[in-house]
Structure 1
Amino acid sequence: MAFLELKNIHKSYYLDKEEFPVLKGINLQFNRGEFVSILGESGGGKSTLMNIIGGLDRNFEGEVLVNGKLLDHKKEKQLDSYRRATVGYIYQSYNLISHLTVLDNVLVALDMTTLTKEERKKRALTLLDKVGLSEQVKKHPNHLSGGQKQRVAIARALASDPQIIIADEPTGALDSQNTKEVLALLDEIARDGKLVIAVTHSQEVADNGTRIVHLADGKIDGDTRLHPAYPIPDDPTKITPRVLPAMASYRTAFKHFIYNFWRNSLIMLGTAIGIFAVLLFSGLGNGINGYIQNQINSLANPQAVTVFKNPTGKKMTQEQIQSSLGRTMATDPQSMTLSDHNLKRLSKIKNVSSVEPGITVSAYQATYNGNKQSGTSLQTWSKSVTSSSIKQGHKPGNGEIVLAKQQAIQLSSAKNYKKMIGKTIDVSFNWVDKNNNPVPVQGRFKVSGISEGASSVTAITYATMVERLNKANASTAANFATVNVNNLDNVQDVAAKIDNLRDTNNKRVMGAITVGSILKTVNTYVSLASTVLAAIAGISLLVSALMIIVTMYMSVSERTKEIGILRALGERKKDIRRLFTSESVFIGFFSAILALVIVGIVALLLNHALYGLIKYNIVQITVGNVIFAIVIAIVISFVAALLPARRAANLNPIDALAAD
């Protein structure tokens, strides 16, 4: 039984509706150990016949049987497997992949075998040594002579140990000495038990084989045996084929990426600029949010809710509460007291960690060394006041007081106000007893600290205030409370619940004033602004995507012949798509890395320049920003490569091999 058999092969080309027959009923049988020359003039159908034998041409009539089994040319996957396992190609124009070294050009065929990495490299080096190129393995094809290139092509054709070697005009571009050496190599391949089929128009070349098949005008008009086929070895070698692993595609893509690094660097720079702009605005948004939060936190604790009695019993805004508070405290402070019952109700609200009762006095007088100063607010210290507001000294302890800077200046002088710390001052104010009768209250306090800025306060501890009021037989009922919330995100919810607490007459009893809700609103606006700016900057990413699409289409055009070579070696459409998408992903990934380097440098410079002014790093790149940059770059580059990769995968292998 013949190893390869062609039965009644017909093939025609069409120009519009006009038919041009090329093969007109070809019937041939081939056996292993033969070196068959298909001889004929140009245009006689030799190359078309070879494409059918090699599993590249699918559109013909007739049958091809391999080892007695029908090769179905309608099934693309079967043809891919056939080319991987059974066929090796040697071309007149060598068809080496220019961006791969000599060694890599051979390994590209071995990647589709089950050999280990070490075994693949060893076999490739052995084959290159066999064809006399052991000293050239690291060179690229453009550094080789014509004869050397053809030897690389032979080594590649033999790499996966195929049973059929197809040589298309293998000596057409060689001088006489190289022609003799290549023909000797082909004869040696046939002696190893392979089927060698060489297409040629040279009678001299054909005479070196074991058999000559003459093809003229699409028909066999001669079949001459020069000598018997070589015997097949008793223990022929066999390398198991496999589909190309994804990692092999990634390696090839990375090698091409490095080979064209400087051209790719321009694409990476353009993409990196777009990602850099998005990162910078996101980092600015993070920094501004953090700066605002830092400033507000230095003024007041955003997790503290200040609670006052609601004098109207109706729903009130924070502004309305603060406005009515000043009037009521001055005219009827006793009406603003909070009952123990309501304080307990506050502590039972979900997400409330603690409740601090407090007392605030709307008018008082401070005296030191004969200097008198009238103040408008003396309050008890609570967690709603931050220690950062105290620029000199510390927060008050028992029997101590914190003075506002302006108050300290009035009691001393602008130059010596800091010396007030440690001094004792007298404080007096009018309060009421339990029957709402006026009661004078006096006390001596040691100055523990001086507060400055918008959050400056005059304050004593709640325990100290209660002690002084008790001595004067005045009421010690709290007229405000500080509710501490366990998390900033829960502040608004807790404030809403406080506002909604009602008495038996269904009237609202308390009102809440929060800094946290204000902070959250400001953060929302800043986040929105930074997102809008980042989105505007993101338009440049669309330009980057277009650049990648154009680059990939150019790459497909430049590598058309390479695509044909890889398909002839047995790579699937899927492998070709992966080759181009993975290279694009490399471009995207390194663009993101470049963008991160640029934004890191710019952020460092901006933070250094502005830190002296605001004492804060205004650009803050988070881990989330870094992950976003890498992911968005990879996604954009992958999506941008889909259409070019699809076009590459759908190229006809025959047309691709014929490309210049």
Structure 2
Amino acid sequence: MAFLELHNIHKSYFLGKEEFPVLNGIDLDFELGEFVSILGESGGGKSTLMNIIGGLDRNFEGEVRADGQLLDHKKEKQLDDYRRGTIGYIYQSYNLISHLNIVDNVLVSLNMTNLNNREKKDRAIELLKQVGLGDQLKKHPNQLSGGQKQRVAIARALASNPRVIIADEPTGALDSKNTAEVLEILEKIAAEGKLVITVTHSQDVANYGTRIVRLADGKIEDDTRLKPAYKTTVEQPNVKPKVLSAGASYKNAFQHLSYNFWRNSLIMLGTAIGLFAVLLFSGIGNGVNAFIQDQINSMINPNSITVMKNPAGKKMSTAKFEQSMSQFANDPSKLLLTDKEVNHLQNLKHVDKVEPGYQLSTYTLSYNSKNANGSGFQTWTKAYASDTVKTGHAPKANQIVLDKAQAATLTSTKKYKQLLGKKVKLTLPWIDKNNHPVQVTAELTVVGFTNGGQTGAITGTNYSTMRHLLSNAKADTQANFVSVNVNNSKNVKSVAKKITSIKDNGKYTFGAITVGDMLDTVNQYVSIASIVLAAIAGISLVVSALMIIVTMYMSVSERTKEIGILRALGERKKDIRRLFTAESVLIGLFSAALALVLAYAASLGLNHVLYSIVKFNMVQITPGNIIFTVVAAIAISFIAALLPARKASRLNPIDALSAD
């Protein structure tokens, strides 16, 4: 019974509108156990016929049946399955994959079978031993002779246990000795129950088989049986075809990447530099945010809310409220709070202390004929953190704490602590109840020093002292801010919201500022700066993506024949696309790994240098930054490979196999 049937096969090529017939009504039947030679001169249609039999050529008229099943040559998936499970190819030019050793060349076919990894490798080695290459397993194709290469091709053709072996001029590039050995192997394959079809122009080769089909001008000229087909009861291995797994594609991609590692390393380095810059700038942004938060939290109690008069009477965001305050710098009377308004805050839920206070814009300190000017004099409240005073203690009646920098101005950097217990003169401007300017002066005892550092000078006295000084100077004694302390940091936002919602005569009475508000505002600016810097660094990622695209297009061009080989073995278009996107993604992953190494090395160096200045690690790379970098590397490399991979998958297998 015929295993393979060809009925009324017609095939033509076209040059413009001119038709050139190649096959003109071919009818042939083949059975298992045959060793059939298709004999004819060049241009007679032999290779075209083999491409149709092998499921590579879809553009023809007629029918092909395999094991009684009609092959629909319009359905690409069916032909992929047919080549994968039924056909094994042996070529005149061997068509081995140069970057793989001979075991891996055989495994390319075995990767599309149901065997496990150990069984695949064992079968590959066993087949190579059967064709006499057991001592050459670690070699690459360029290290083998022509006869040895053809033996590898035979082992690969047999790997998936196909029913049909197609050999296209298998001895055309071999000497007489290797020709005889290859023909013996093919005869043995036929004797084991497979159908072997050989295309040749050599009568001597054709005489070796069981049957000769002469092809001339696209027609069967003669069909001669030399001997009966082999009848065999040889048990076939339990090897079944299946589609290529994603893991096999990634393994093949890694092997090619490793083979061309030094060329690809330049691409990886370029991509890694862009990722490194983005990662480093993100880490600097994190560090600056953390540094500012640490500085503010070290000076200000996070449970505290600074409450001020809302002279506009409108509901507004914290940022807009802070901006509106500058409009009343020349008229501080608009910001004064009545005792009634202060007392209203006492009744709010979760509030455990309400402290009115004074914030004055400018002041002057004098000691032994030396002056120190400052801005932002403020009475002491629980808003300050417990460790704000670095030396001494918080001010009590007729006492004052000075910022370290101002104390050094009044004395010296090394002797500023000598001011402890000494009296300094405080002079500051304020207003009376008629909104006229008043100068307030007093001599206060220094009881402590603060270190505002980058957050600004912190100088102040307590509320009772300040109120007494204002009263003595006939100045207005109404507070211009209130420090509201909340019992739990979790309640700060809700209390602040309640405060800003208080109305009097239809107008909003208060504005509120929390530590979180201040941090949010500062961090927003830092984040914007970090994003801008990262975006500038990201330009290099665009260049890297272009480099990957060019590299992938070059790879497609260099591996055109390999693509044809893989398609002939049964890989789908999807598998070819995945092969190239996998290689590009691996480039992205290695680039990300290199970027992480560079970023951590740079962060260690920068932190070492900067820590001596600010006593803080200014580069802080978070797990989120790392995840973003890896995801960005994968996304960029994957997107960059899409067009080259698509081009590779759409190559005609026949044209790809004929590429040089």
**What TM bracket, shorter-length normalisation?**
0.7 to 0.9
2:278 corresponds to 1:271: no
Indicate the percent of aligned positions where both proteins have the same amino acid: 64
Cα distance, 1:644 vs structure 2: 0.7
Q: CA offset at residue 606 of structure 1?
A: 2.4
Q: Check conservation: 2:377, 2:458, Cα contact below 8 A.
A: no
SS at match of 1:342: helix
Secondary structure at 1:162 match in 2: coil
Supply the distance in 2 between the matched residues of 1:223 and 1:88 (Cα, whole angstroms).
23
CA distance in 1, matches of 2:391, 2:99: 71
| Amino acid of the structure 1 residue aligned with 2:355 | P
Counterpart AA for 1:450 = F
* Aligned partner of residue 619 in structure 1, secondary structure: coil
CA distance in 2, matches of 1:314, 1:45: 90
Q: Cα distance, 1:101 vs. partner? A: 1.0
Give 2:541's aligned amino acid.
L
> Equivalents in 2 of 1:199, 1:314: separation in Å?
92
Q: SS in structure 1 opposite 2:162?
A: coil
Please show how residues 367-516 of structure 1 align to structure 2 within 5 Å: 381-395=380-394, 402=401, 418=417, 449-453=448-452, 454-459=456-461, 480-484=481-485, 498-503=499-504, 505-506=505-506, 509-512=509-512, 516=516
1:219 aligned partner: 219
Q: Does 1:342 align with 2:356?
A: no
Cα distance change of structure 1 residues 93 and 398 upon mapping to structure 2, 3 Å threshold: farther
Report how many aligned residue pairs link the two structures.
627
Q: Does the 8 Å contact 1:299/1:455 carry over to 2?
A: no
The within-5 A match list for 1:52-201 is 52-201=52-201
- Superposed, 1:567-646 pairs within 5 Å as 567-646=567-646
Q: Deviations over 1:51-89 (max 9, x none)?
A: 111011111111111112211111111100000111000
**1:133–1:195: structure 2 CA closer, same or farther, 3 Å change rule?**
same
**In 1, Cα distance between equivalents of 2:207 and 2:234:** 28
CA distance in 1, matches of 2:549, 2:273: 17
- Please give the alpha-carbon distance, in whole angstroms, between the structure 1 residues aligned to 2:43 and 2:466: 112
**Matching of residues 302-381 of structure 1 within 5 Å:** 304-308=304-308, 317-319=324-326, 336-338=338-340, 341-345=343-347, 347-348=348-349, 354-358=352-356, 381=380
Letter in 2 for 1:337: D
Normalising to structure 1: TM-score of the pair?
0.84
Structure 1, unaligned stretches of length 5 or more? 430-443, 467-475
Give the whole-Å Cα distance in 1 for the aligned partners of 2:211 and 2:129. 29
Q: Structure 1 residues 611 and 255 mapped into 2: Cα distance closer, same or farther (>3 Å)?
A: same
Match of 2:474 in 1: none
Letter matched to residue 307 of structure 1:
V
Instruction: Give the drift of 1:291.
Output: 3.2
* 1:282 aligned partner: 282
CA deviations over 1:198-248 (Å, ceiling 9, x no partner): 111111111111111111121111111111111031644442111111111
- Cα pair distance change 1:535/1:353, threshold 3 Å: farther
Q: Distance in 2 between matches of 1:427 and 1:119?
A: 92
Q: Contact conserved, 1:46 with 1:199, CA < 8 A, in 2?
A: yes
Deviation at 1:388, TM superposition (A): 4.8
TM-score of the aligned structures, taking structure 2 as reference length: 0.84
Deviation at 1:426, TM superposition (A): 12
**Does structure 1 conserve the Cα–Cα contact (< 8 Å) formed by 2:210 and 2:227?**
yes
1:608 is displaced (CA, Å) by 2.3
SS of corresponding position for 1:55: coil
Post-superposition offset of 1:563: 0.5
2:432 counterpart residue number: none
483 and 184 in structure 1: CA distance in 2 versus 1, 3 angstrom threshold: same
Quote how far apart the aligned CAs of 1:497 are. 5.1
Contact 1:165 1:196 in 2 (8 A): yes
Equivalent position of 2:430 in the other structure? none
Per mean C-alpha deviation after superposition, the further-off stretch among 205-214 and 149-158 is 205-214
RMSD: 4.1
Q: Do residues 25 (structure 1) and 25 (structure 2) align?
A: yes
Which amino acid in structure 2 is aligned with residue 209 of structure 1? G
- SS in structure 2 at match of 1:541: helix
Rate the CA distance shift 1:15–1:619 in 2: closer, same or farther, 3 A: same
Alpha carbons of structure 1 residues 149 and 508: separation in structure 2 relative to 1, 3 Å: closer
AA matched with 1:28: L
- Residue 600 of structure 1: CA displacement? 2.0
SS in 2 for 1:523: helix
